[in-house]
Amino acid sequence: MITLQEFLEEKVRLPSPKAIAIRILEAIRKDEDSFAELANIIKSDPVLTARILKVANSSYYGMVDQVSSPGQAISVLGTKALKNIALSFVIFDAVKVTQQGSFDIDLFWRRAITSAVAAEIMAAEVGFRSDDIFVTALLQDFGVLVLFLSCGAAYTEVFDAKRISGSNLQEEETKHLSFNHTEVGYQILKSWNLPDTICEPIRDHHSPKKPGQTSTAGLVNLADRIASIYHGKESNRRSIEARMLLNEHYGINDEHALELIDTIGIKAREAIELFAISPGEMKPFSQIMQEANTELARLNYSYEQLVLELTQAKRNAEQMAVELKKANDSLRDLALRDGLTGLYNHRYFQDALASQLESSKRYGHMVALLLIDIDFFKKINDTHGHPVGDTVLQEISTLLVKLVRNCDIVARYGGEEFAVILPETGITGAKVLAHRVRRGVEQHQIKHGDIPIPITISIGVASSESSGAEISRSMLITQCDQALYEAKHNGRNRVEVASGEMKEKSLV
């Protein structure tokens, strides 16, 4: 389990903001509102100019007169509003990516935009002044996006665990990762020099310090609940929770709460289209409520029947979550395993070696590598046929796993070649293990029917121990490959150590 700082330094895969984004960020950080400067920044990007004018002339703002220039848009909407609209567009464009596995990118942004609209409308409703609330709500779950893009498979496991346990997302993130998405979002956006008025509420919005008082974090939390009505499951229950919160914390009666939620849905749909995203199956709030009431009327069950059905539904949902987790685990495993041998594949080997070398550099540990080649494998295929050759590969794979340590990583490098990563192992330990593996294979008996098939292997050994400077993944593989070539060139069935390290060569 890595720390948040290690994740930010080693794992984050996110493009840097474009030049125009940096200029807008710099303008936002200034205390004074520079009308001309902001207009010039926007005008320097024709695409951004067109989008700003489309927003200014949309029904979202309901302007009577046509807005035809960034300067006019600023004078009508205000400098602060335009800064945040422009910032929303440039950050959206900076991290706009295609579909990532099971993570629905469009749904993420639909919910984020709906939340931003809800926060802006609710702030105006309760008389709370916050120039940054739209972009704050838009980016409240930015950390979720970063985590999916940077470590999709591991983060999918967090969501699987959340479905099964019923706990909230932050608890499962902390349990699996040692940090949560609000901390990730806060740190990334701080590194982009966004102001604290945006970053701090993003960090705190899931647990506002004063939930009963009006604050940016509290309004963002409320906006997220309202957005979940349109883009989550159990819309009716979420609607009831949001309306109770509106009444208890903001003194808004139920009739007016329903009107506000409906207005938010209408405005959100317009805003989503301004971001050039399809609203998907987003339904009007009135339709959501009508469908919920129709379903309740159709059920017409007694209280006891409802309890029984809900209990069974909960069991089914839990079982489905467990089965989904097993399926996801199986798919992840298939993506990382070689189909014939069951060993890790070449892709996993490359990633694992890079990770071990990074750990070696950070903590001063050593890491060693073995490259193994089955001697005269082509002759086995030519003599006995390829099915027998496949059987040999499978048996040798199983044997290699038995001969190495539990902490070692065995992979099929390609063809009849295998690789073994030896964490926290110097050259001496690597040599000892390599000789043990070579002898173990030589002594192992493989038969085709009653015909014995003698098998030997050649092994190249390399280690980060004596490289002096930091060694790269490609350099370590090259050294090890050269040592393997020497082992084959010098007669096979032997171990050779990469030049520059211990040069002893032995058959025993």
Q: What are the boundaries of each domain within the chain? A: 14-96, 346-497
What backbone torsions phi and psi does residue 426 show, to the nearest 5 degrees?
-90, -175
Q: For residue range 334-354, what is the model confidence (pLDDT) as tens digits? A: 678 888 999 999 988 998 998
Please name the residues in contact with 430: beta carbons below 8 A apart, sequence gap of 6 or more. 368, 369, 370, 422, 461, 463
Instruction: Give yes or no for a contact between 434 and 461, defined as CB atoms under 8 angstroms apart.
Output: yes
Inform me whether the pLDDT recorded for 380 exceeds 70.
yes
Nearest Cα to Cα of residue 185 among 414, 386, 14: 14
At which residue do the structure tokens 């043990």 appear? 436
What's residue 209's pLDDT?
62
Structure tokens of 144?
Answer: 């979720």
What's residue 506's pLDDT?
42
CATH number of 346-497: 3.30.70.270
Confidence of residue 508 (pLDDT cuts 50, 70, 90): very low
Rg (CA), the chain: 30
Q: Where is pLDDT greater, at 59 or 137? A: 137
Whole-angstrom CA distances from 91 to 128, 134, 135 are 25, 13, 10
3-state helix, strand, coil in the chain (%, to 5): 65, 10, 30
Q: Residue 319, exposed/middle/buried by CB under 10 A (0-12, 13-18, 19+)?
A: exposed
What SS3 class is residue 340?
Answer: coil
Q: Where is pLDDT greater, at 236 or 17? A: 236
Confidence of residue 432 (pLDDT cuts 50, 70, 90): very high
Q: Terminal CA-to-CA distance of the chain, rounded, Å?
A: 40
Q: What number of residues does the chain have?
A: 508
Taking residues 18-31, what's their average pLDDT? 67
What's residue 505's pLDDT?
42
Report d(CA 361, CA 443) in Å as an integer. 37
Taking residues 108-113, what's their average pLDDT? 90
Confidence of residue 504 (pLDDT cuts 50, 70, 90): very low
Inform me whether the pLDDT recorded for 156 exceeds 50.
yes
Inform me whether the pLDDT recorded for 290 exceeds 80.
no
Q: Where is pLDDT greater, at 101 or 166? A: 166
What's residue 309's pLDDT?
64
Model-level pTM greater than 0.85? no
Instruction: Give yes or no for a contact between 135 and 87, defined as CB atoms under 8 angstroms apart.
Output: yes
Determine which of 213-227, 287-301, 311-325 has the lowest per-residue pLDDT on average. 287-301
What's residue 82's pLDDT?
75
Average pLDDT value for the chain: 82
What backbone torsions phi and psi does residue 125 show, to the nearest 5 degrees?
-65, -40
Instruction: Give yes or no for a contact between 160 and 328, defined as CB atoms under 8 angstroms apart.
Output: yes
**pLDDT over 70, % of the chain:** 83
Q: For residue range 173-196, what is the model confidence (pLDDT) as tens digits? A: 888 888 889 999 899 888 877 888
What's residue 308's pLDDT?
66
What's residue 213's pLDDT?
60
According to DSSP, the β-strands at 457-463 and 495-497 are parallel
Confidence of residue 499 (pLDDT cuts 50, 70, 90): confident
What's residue 122's pLDDT?
93
Report d(CA 231, CA 214) in Å as an integer. 25
What's residue 101's pLDDT?
59
Residues annotated as part of the active site: 416
Inform me whether the pLDDT recorded for 507 exceeds 50.
no
